């Protein structure tokens, strides 16, 4: 039996770092963002489908995320169309990964896990969390986003407190060492459950 652990958390909470810690514990990790990059890349399954609706979004045979953002900001209905194309492809990518991987615990790194109802397909959910001031400082320190863009993304995501309340494991990412200890503990608990199953 493969145990499916959903990993989620709002922007700037330390999800990528935490996913790497799960890898170090011997878990397989599937990354939703990486799947979208594969789908948007040259030869990716989303390219032709997005070209059919938004030909201007294609550059050198791949989907330009920047051009898609421009299209979405100019056309409020575009996001729904893009989601209708991309979400089923992401689900298929995830299912293909699960069928091919040989691991006791598979971690599914999905930013909008609760928002898309993906938590219902998991055996448990881990949420990464840090205080709001640290979250804001981390995101703005990247230099790739304005405060207004950060607020827009936050508004689309379920509040962190609600995610934590719905989680089986809450991993505080105030320091890497603290996060590592909590990841280790979560993996030990899951392995214990698998032994008892």
Same CATH topology for 1-27+105-197 and 33-102?
A: yes
Determine the 3-state secondary structure of 167 from DSSP: coil
Does 153 have pLDDT greater than 90? Answer: no
At 156, is the pLDDT very low, low, confident or very high (cuts 50, 70, 90)? Answer: confident
Whole-number average pLDDT of the chain: 94
Residues in Cβ contact with 121 at an 8 Å cutoff, skipping those fewer than 6 apart: 4, 6
Give the start-to-end residue ranges of the domains of the chain.
1-27+105-197, 33-102
* Mean pLDDT computed over 177-191: 97
Q: What's the residue count for the chain?
A: 197
Q: pLDDT tens, 15-52?
A: 999 999 999 999 999 999 999 999 999 999 999 999 99
Pick 147 or 187 by higher pLDDT: 187
Angle at 89 between CA 85 and CA 95, to 5 degrees: 155
pTM higher than 0.85, yes or no? yes
CATH number attached to the domain at 33-102: 3.40.50.300
Which CATH architecture is the domain 1-27+105-197 placed in? 3-Layer(aba) Sandwich (3.40)
Instruction: Write down the pLDDT at residue 145.
Output: 84
- Tokens representing 190 are 């899951």
Which DSSP string do the residues of 64-112 spell out, in sequence order? -HHHHHHHHHH-TTHHHHHHHHHHHHHHHHHHHHHHH---SEEEEE-TT
DSSP state letter for 119: G
- Checking if the pLDDT of 197 tops 80, the result is no
pLDDT score for 157: 86
Tokens matching residue 113:
């896990």
For residue 104, report the phi and psi dihedrals to the nearest 5 degrees.
-70, -40
Tens-place pLDDT, residues 50-106: 999 999 999 999 999 999 989 988 998 999 999 999 999 999 999 999 999 999 999
26 three-class SS: coil
What CA–CA distance (Å, rounded) separates 129 from 186? 15
């Amino acid at each position: 039996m493969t145990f499916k652990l959903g990993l989620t958390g709002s922007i700037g909470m330390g999800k990528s770092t935490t996913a790497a810690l799960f890898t170090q514990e011997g878990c397989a990790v599937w990354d939703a963002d990486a799947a979208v990059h594969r789908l948007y890349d040259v030869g990716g399954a989303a390219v032709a489908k997005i070209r059919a609706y938004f030909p201007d979004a294609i550059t050198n045979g791949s989907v330009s995320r920047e051009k898609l953002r421009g299209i979405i900001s100019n056309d409020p209905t575009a996001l729904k169309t893009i989601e209708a194309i991309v979400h089923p492809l992401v689900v298929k990518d995830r299912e293909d990964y699960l069928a091919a991987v040989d691991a006791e615990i598979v971690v599914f790194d999905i930013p909008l896990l609760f928002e898309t109802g993906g938590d219902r397909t998991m055996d448990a959910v881990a949420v990464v969390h840090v205080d709001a001031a640290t979250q804001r400082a981390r995101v703005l320190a990247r230099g790739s986003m304005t405060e207004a863009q950060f607020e827009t993304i936050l508004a689309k995501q379920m509040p962190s407190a609600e995610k934590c309340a719905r989680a089986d494991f809450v991993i505080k990412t105030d320091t890497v060492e603290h996060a590592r200890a909590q990841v280790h503990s979560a993996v030990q608990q899951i392995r214990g459950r698998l032994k008892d199953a």
